[in-house]
Structure 1
Amino acid sequence: MNEDRARILKESVAFINRLQLLSAFFEEEIVYKIYLRSQIIHRSFENNTEIDINKLELFHLQFTSSVIELLKKIKKSNEQKIKLIYDEIDLNTALVEKLHNSTSNEADFDEERAEHIKKINLSIQNLYNNLSDYSKDNPFAKNINEFAIRYAKEFFHDITTDVFNQLIHHDSDDVYKNAYATIHKKLLGIQCKYNFKNTFIGGLRSGDEVLEVYKIMGTSKYFVYYGESRLFLLCDIATIQNVDWKNTVSKKVKIIQDMEDRNCLLETQVTITKSYISEDAKQLLTAYYDKIEDVSFLENITNIDVQANILKTMLNTDLM
């Protein structure tokens, strides 16, 4: 009999140790409470030889083993979910590395943008002289459209065909036109007044068509340059919706940033998922705890019909 008692107590310690490990893993209050209550039950038998030791064995076989099985099932389910999360992280990382290898140099864009602004400013000034009969030479700087051709795909904002058509629409009475270019009369007057100083705020792209958008420095006026037709027109910047003018990074760099942000969120999700227990599972664990906390629990443990194990049903349902 003493050998059976020693064996049952030893096996009980093993059950308690497994519960302790699981409670430390999940860091969930109800799991800690179950572990502590199970430990109290164990000590009750350990310190009182008059209590039927077989009830302790039955308690672990019928109850503790079920809750351990449940927690292991939840842990395994969480691990499978985490594997899927890490698969997504790996795919995102591979895409980021691929994009890094093919992304245009942001410094090159900034440098060429500064040079291109100088070309535009000089070209408009030359056009003014040309229209004023001070010069008959081609007013445009060499390769004036090369900047847009090179960077439109990655750096310009997408717009609809309707918006594009609205931006280039103009009345012939409102523009100056010669063999080289077309420009709004009001725009040319403002350019002269403010010494042909403009700054590039962004590009627009509709299919293969591209527009460059500029702000006249010292004013709140904007204009577009349509390189295909050498067209300069004033525009209302507010009519160009869904464009973040502050975003000057390329589309590829934006994708890289989004993927890196996504991976940060996924890493956080891994931490949360690792020890996640659903609310339904918590409710059943709470019901289990309430049962083993009942002072009359051990007295009725041998009555299988009365003490039907609530976790048996749980283990056969999808509560992960």
Structure 2
Amino acid sequence: MEDNAVLRESNRILNKLHLLSAFFEDEIVYKIYLRTQVIHRLYESNPELDVNKLELFHVQFTSAVIDLLKKIKKINERNTSLLFEEIQLNKDLIQSVKDSDFNLADFNNDKQRQALRINNSLRRLYEVLSSDTDEYPFVKNINAFSARYAQDYFFDISAETLAQLTEYNPNEVYTHASVIIERKLMGKACKYDFRTEFYCGLKTGNLAIEVYKFIDEDTYYVFNPQRNLLLLCDEELLKTIDQASEVTRNERIIQELLDKNDQLQSSAALARISIPAEVKALLAENYKKITDINFLQNIAGFDAQANILKTMLNTDII
């Protein structure tokens, strides 16, 4: 009866080791499980053997291995839970970015509306300058377009390029109470009946300008909404600006977060079943010992190895 109790307990220990070997998917852990199963069956099939030695083997070795692996499993699960929390935070941020992003259709529609505002403002500015009044010439919300779309849909330029595009000779501009416009630009606007279209938006840091093109000829001008400044623009300078990518800032953020989550998923999968190299080396050494043909004869002398396993439970290695 006593022997049966030892064997039943041995079976329970084997089940625990089997589950851990399946969890870690590690070759050395699986080999230890198989060898331990062989040792168990040896005693199970040979009643003449002293089953107390099997119990001693589990006390000295198997239980220590199980405790060590369970501790590693717990640490791994805690570490992977942190990775999964980061993944979820990234998912929440992705959704937040999507919710706050203005889509391309909105931008394209508002480009046309903004061009109409600019054209009407130019027409009114001409009338104001002609009549020499202090009336504010720009239509309502003309500055809202850049504020809304600059970060997502305007192209990046250097501060030097922005300075080039917005510098002017004071002798070549009309200066109104609230607006500065280049004289030649005002003349062209009159000549072509104030018919222009939005060409692109440019930004550097928090500063943004809008570039427009006359519909009837390849002439460009910039509108600086912060300064209500309108100047003709050198077409050659525009050609130096990289307009190849239409990927918005938010789309870049979303892609970066998706890539990050892929990396975190891979890291979590590895971290979940990771066993420190020092532990694996010790398990391999112990596996070698329990596969020795003389192991069963020397089972009582296995205390030193068992103590090393138990010591690892109280170190910072894992």
The code of the aligned residue for 1:151 comes to R
Alignment of 1:40-51 (within 5 A): 40-51=38-49
Q: Which structure 1 residue ranges, 5 or more long, are not aligned?
A: 131-135
| Contact kept? 2:118, 2:142, Cα under 8 Å | no
2: CA distance, partners of 1:184 / 1:65: 90
1: CA distance, partners of 2:23 / 2:167: 66
RMSD, aligned CA: 4.7
The answer for the alignment partner of 1:133 in structure 2 is none
1: CA distance, partners of 2:64 / 2:118: 77
1: CA distance, partners of 2:221 / 2:286: 72
| Contact kept? 2:159, 2:204, Cα under 8 Å | no
The answer for the alignment partner of 2:247 in structure 1 is 247
| Contact kept? 1:182, 1:231, Cα under 8 Å | yes
| Contact kept? 1:202, 1:248, Cα under 8 Å | no
The answer for the alignment partner of 1:34 in structure 2 is 32
The Cα shift of 1:268 comes to: 4.0
| Contact kept? 2:150, 2:208, Cα under 8 Å | no
The code of the aligned residue for 1:40 comes to V
The answer for the alignment partner of 1:13 in structure 2 is 11
Q: Deviations over 1:57-105 (max 9, x none)?
A: 111111111111111011100111123233334444444555555x253
CA change 1:64–1:116 in 2 (3 A) is same
The answer for the alignment partner of 1:83 in structure 2 is 81
Q: Deviations over 1:236-289 (max 9, x none)?
A: 358768x98422355xx6555544554454344333322222333322222222
The code of the aligned residue for 1:295 comes to I
2: CA distance, partners of 1:280 / 1:170: 70
Q: Which structure 2 residue ranges, 5 or more long, are not aligned?
A: 127-131
2: CA distance, partners of 1:92 / 1:53: 56
The Cα shift of 1:115 comes to: 3.4
Aligned residue for 1:276, secondary structure, equals coil
The answer for the alignment partner of 1:151 in structure 2 is 148
- Residue identity (%): 38
The answer for the alignment partner of 2:54 in structure 1 is 56
CA change 1:206–1:23 in 2 (3 A) is closer
2: CA distance, partners of 1:206 / 1:163: 13
The code of the aligned residue for 1:148 comes to F
Confirm or deny that 1:234 pairs with 2:261: no
CA change 1:83–1:167 in 2 (3 A) is same
Question: Normalised by the size of structure 1, how large is the TM-score?
Answer: 0.72
The code of the aligned residue for 2:145 comes to A
The answer for the alignment partner of 1:204 in structure 2 is 203
| Contact kept? 2:198, 2:212, Cα under 8 Å | yes
How many residues align? The count is 307
CA change 1:305–1:265 in 2 (3 A) is closer
Candidates 109, 112, 132, aligned match of 1:111: 109
1: CA distance, partners of 2:46 / 2:96: 68
CA change 1:222–1:66 in 2 (3 A) is farther
1: CA distance, partners of 2:259 / 2:219: 36
The answer for the alignment partner of 1:281 in structure 2 is 279
CA change 1:16–1:77 in 2 (3 A) is same
2: CA distance, partners of 1:32 / 1:305: 22
